[in-house]
Amino acid sequence: MKNLFDLTGRVAVVTGASSGLGADAARAYVEQGADVALLARRAAKLETLADELRRMGRRVEVVPCDVTDEEQVKRAVAEVIGRLGRIDILLNNAGVAVRGSVEELTAEDWDRGMNTNLRGMFFMCKYVVPHMRAQHYGRIVNISSVNARIADKNPALVRHVYNASKAGVRGLTLGMAASYGMDNITVNAVGPGLFESEMTADTLFANEPFMQMYNAICPMGRPGRRGELNGTILYFSSEASSYVTGQYVVVDGGTSLV
Ligand SMILES: NC(=O)c1ccc[n+]([C@@H]2O[C@H](COP(=O)([O-])OP(=O)(O)OC[C@H]3O[C@@H](n4cnc5c(N)ncnc54)[C@H](OP(=O)(O)O)[C@@H]3O)[C@@H](O)[C@H]2O)c1
């Protein structure tokens, strides 16, 4: 039987690959046979991951890039195509979780949240889409959040610019999906619930009362485990979802249902 998740011969670009969910997704792409370009600001972390992934037999390129900087993004996309020949899959994963309510956030906080989570995604798409259109193939996976669907009233967990930017990711996904279907480019969004990463380790995971409350509310009784986002990312990145576009799938153990 044909393996619908096989990515042999494909080239994937992962933003925010220096830690957490992005690094895990890069591993999953390589396991499925793809060559991968790793993008983020911390080059040393990308190099360490690249060494690990190259031992799995694939071509892996490190391309340091701040996604909020249009010139850097433009250069990074050209570099990936120059080194790996093409881009079939774009995983827009880079993100920051800026905390605070509208009353607390400064204009700088707002810009940092929106620029990383949404503007950076726009830049990546702006430079990758023409290439995908020319080759009449593309899979774009945008990492949103369950916080594009649900919000917290607990003051310690309020993140209004995060909610806004991640809802924006859903909107961008929708618009792009409608525009590029005829180019055989699918665009889908993934909304992770709670997963341990640099973003959450010192804040949410270190907060015992919060974790007890989360586990009590979550129908599956626990946060996501390492690798548990990969199935959905691979689905949207492969032939398995060839007729699926514009969707937003939440991976949260059912937390947003209750
Ligand atoms: N963990 C969760 O529970 C959870 C839940 C919902 C959604 N998410 C989303 O999942 C994605 C990954 O987050 P994570 O949990 O894996 O957190 P993480 O470990 O903090 O990873 C964030 C990644 O984004 C990169 N990044 C941040 N700003 C960047 C910039 N300006 N340019 C390029 N890269 C940048 C970071 O790399 P550098 O610092 O090296 O640039 C890092 O690799 C984010 O979009 C996040 O919002 C996570």
The answer to whether the CB of 200 is under 6 A from ligand 1 is yes
Q: pTM for this structure?
A: 0.98
Superfamily of domain covering 11-195+226-250: NAD(P)-binding Rossmann-like Domain (3.40.50.720)
CA–centroid distance, 2 to ligand 1, in Å, is: 33
- Quick one: pLDDT band at residue 2, thresholds 50, 70, 90? confident
User: Would you kindly state where each structural domain of the chain is located, as residue ranges?
Assistant: 11-195+226-250
pLDDT of residue 92: 99
- Quick one: pLDDT band at residue 28, thresholds 50, 70, 90? very high
- Quick one: pLDDT band at residue 235, thresholds 50, 70, 90? very high
Q: How far apart are CA 96 and CA 245, in angstroms?
A: 25
Pairing of strands 11-15, 35-40: parallel
- Quick one: pLDDT band at residue 159, thresholds 50, 70, 90? very high
Q: Give φ, ψ of 42 to 5 degrees.
A: -85, 95
pLDDT of residue 42: 98
pLDDT of residue 98: 97
The continuous run of DSSP H or E covering 234 comes out as helix 230-237
Q: How far apart are CA 111 and CA 165, in angstroms?
A: 10
pLDDT of residue 154: 87
Angle between the N-to-C axes of helices 43-54 and 20-31, in degrees from 0 to 180, rounded to the nearest 10: 20
How many Å is the maximal CA-CA distance in the chain? 56
- Ligand 1, atom 30, lies closest to the CA of 66
